C-alpha cells in the first residue's frame, strides 16, 4: 500500500460484506484507484467500515492484450473511465 485507507482491504474472518469470497480484497491483476480525502471524510468512512456498512466500489473490466497493443493510450483512457 502506498497510503492509508479507511476501508478494510483484509478480513481474515470474512465477516465484512466485501470479503465473502476472499479474505483479501485486491486480487492479482486488479486495478486500484485511490483518491485523496480530508480527515473528516476519513473518520466518517472509517466509522462506516467499522460498523460493516461501507462497501468498496468495484467494477468488472476485462483486459484484452491486442487492443491494448494496437492503441495503448486509448485503451488506458477507456480503463480509467471504468474506474471513474
What is the DSSP code (8-state) at residue 24? B
Average pLDDT, the chain: 88
Determine, yes or no, domain membership for 11.
no
Determine, yes or no, domain membership for 9.
no
- The predicted model scores a pTM of 0.67
Provide the pLDDT for residue 2. Answer: 63
Determine, yes or no, domain membership for 7.
no
Determine, yes or no, domain membership for 71.
yes
Flag whether pLDDT at 1 surpasses 60.
no
Provide the pLDDT for residue 58. Answer: 84
**Structural domain boundaries, residue 35:** 17-83
Flag whether pLDDT at 43 surpasses 90.
yes
Percent helix, strand and coil across the chain, each to the nearest 5:
40, 0, 60
Determine, yes or no, domain membership for 48.
yes
For the stretch 55-70, pLDDT in tens is 888 888 888 999 999 9
User: Average pLDDT for residues 20-34, to the nearest whole number?
Assistant: 86
Amino acid at each position: 500500500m502506498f497510503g492509508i485507507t479507511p476501508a478494510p482491504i483484509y478480513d481474515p474472518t470474512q465477516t465484512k460484506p466485501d470479503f465473502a469470497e476472499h479474505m483479501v480484497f485486491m486480487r492479482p491483476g486488479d486495478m486500484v484507484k485511490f483518491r485523496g480525502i480530508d480527515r473528516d471524510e476519513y473518520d466518517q468512512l472509517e466509522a462506516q467500515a467499522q460498523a460493516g456498512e461501507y462497501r468498496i466500489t468495484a467494477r468488472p473490466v476485462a483486459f484484452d492484450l491486442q487492443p491494448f497493443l494496437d492503441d495503448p493510450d486509448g485503451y488506458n483512457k477507456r480503463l480509467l473511465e471504468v474506474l471513474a
